Structure 1
Amino acid sequence: MTDPVISLSEASLTLMGNAGKVEILKDITLKVNRGETLGLVGPSGSGKSSLLMIMGGLEQATGGRVGVLGHDMTAMDEDELALFRRDHMGVVFQSFHLIPTMTALENVATPLELAGARDAFDRAADELRAVGLGDRMDHYPGQLSGGEQQRVALARAAAPRPEILLADEPTGNLDGVNGEAIMQMLFGLRDRHGATLVLVTHARELAERCDRVIRLRDGRLDRMAEAAE
């Protein structure tokens, strides 16, 4: 039996809103196996992005347990979580979150440098070539199209060769052509590095490429939808 890379046990997330406590996630129990591609789908506000965030330690679960690669994420503080993400995860957001004063090459090399990689710029250049930006390395984000910026974000996430790739609506801000290109690259990076991929998407064609699809509704796993997949 394969040991899960990600294991959630009755994980919950409750935040304070203007009207009091808001239950975002409710008793999520879920396992993701090594090398698996898992799609998270559901209507807006169902908790998909929040679930991805607690898997990555970008949001702390307020109940239950979140285990990743054998480590209890709920027992870590913010600094420990940041180091853990640096060493084990790549995260891609719908908004690209590139540093505007850095070139594409510098954006991709920065997390490698922070991790102490001596060949940071060589590896960054290799990843940019892999996403078709070999001739755009010295360009700043403001000089790149939306599709090109998302390619840089993909390269930055993949350059450290993470064991886990998390992607939140990676094609959401792109047109059909660029969205398809990013989809191909995302799965290509997964295949090249052997990473476990978890992604949030509204795009049916992207979800259909996943090994498994989980649907959320009102902060809970939709068990009927999961059984139907």
Structure 2
Amino acid sequence: MPQSVLSLQNAALSLEGNAGRVDILHGITLSVNQGETLGLVGPSGSGKSSLLMLMGGLEQATEGSVTALGQDLTGMDEDHLARFRRDTMGVVFQNFHLIPTMTALENVATPLELAGHKDAFARAEAELDSVGLSHRRDHYPAQLSGGEQQRVALARASAPRPQILLADEPTGNLDEANGAAIVDLLFGLRDKHGATLVLVTHSHTLADRCDRVVRLRDGRIAEDAQKEAAE
């Protein structure tokens, strides 16, 4: 039997805004197996990114449960969650989230140093090389193109060799050519480290590369489609 690495049971998310309580996700029950690639699709405002945030413990479910690698994320405090993400997950955002005062190499190496890896800079160099940026290692984010910044973000996410990779619209701010290159790198890193990959996307091309696609509508799962295995 496939091993589940992410499991949500009747998970809901509500946030307090200026206009009062906003219900974002409703009764999400979903399981993601080890090594699976899951695409989250749906119209803007359907809850895709919020669901990804629940999976990564970046938002806490207000009802139900969220389990990752056998650990109940809803029962963890912020410090425990941060350590758990650091040790088990890589997260890639649409807007890169690089530290502007650090070079590409430092952006990749610093999280490894904080996690206690003695080979942080050597591993960071290897990851930058794997995304084709060894020649840009000493450049700052402002000196890099959008595609190059996203490559640095991918290297940073994959350097700890995470068991789970989460990507929120990883090609959303890139042109078609750079977006296609990032997709190839993302799937290559998944294969390299044997990670489970969950990604939010508006791209039909990207969704078609996933093993399984979950479509959200109004904060609920509208469709859960497994790709048929090739004969």
CA deviation map 1:6-36 (0-9, x unaligned): 0000000011122221110000000000000
Unaligned runs of 5+ in 1: none
Match for residue 62 of structure 2? 62
Matched, 1:47 2:21: no
Aligned pair 1:132/2:132, yes or no? yes
Cα deviation digits, residues 33-60 of structure 1 (max 9, x gap): 0000000000000000000001000011
Partner of 1:113: 113
Q: 1: CA distance between counterparts of 2:165 and 2:225?
A: 25
Cα deviation 1:203-228 (Å, max 9, x = unaligned): 00000000000000000000xx3258
Q: d(CA) in 2 for partners of 1:226 and 1:133?
A: 37
CA distance in 2, matches of 1:79, 1:162: 18
- Is 1:174 aligned with 2:169? no
Give the aligned CA root-mean-square deviation in angstroms: 0.9
The letter of the residue matching 1:92 is V
Once residues 125 and 86 of structure 1 are traced to their aligned partners in structure 2, the CA distance between those partners, rounded to angstroms, is: 19
Partners of 1:208 and 1:228 lie apart in 2 by 11
1:215 corresponds to: 215
Indicate the SS of the match to 1:100. coil
Runs of 4+ in 1 over 2 A off after TM superposition: 225-229
Aligned partners of 2:12 and 2:63 also within 8 Å: yes
Amino acid at match of 2:83: L
Q: Cα distance, 1:160 vs. partner?
A: 0.2
AA aligned to 1:65 is S
Asked whether 1:184 is paired with 2:184, we answer yes
Distance 1:3 1:175 in 2: 36
Deviations 1:123-179 (A, max 9, x none): 000000000001000000010000000000000000000000000000000000000
Structure 2: gaps (5+ residues)? none
- 1:214–1:69 distance in 2 versus 1, CA, 3 Å: same
TM normalised by structure 1 equals 0.98
1:226 alignment partner AA: D
Alignment partner, residue 226 of structure 1: 224
Q: Which amino acid aligns with 2:142?
A: G
Match of 2:205 in 1: 205
CA deviations over 1:75-101 (Å, ceiling 9, x no partner): 001111000000000000000100001
Match of 1:21 in 2: 21
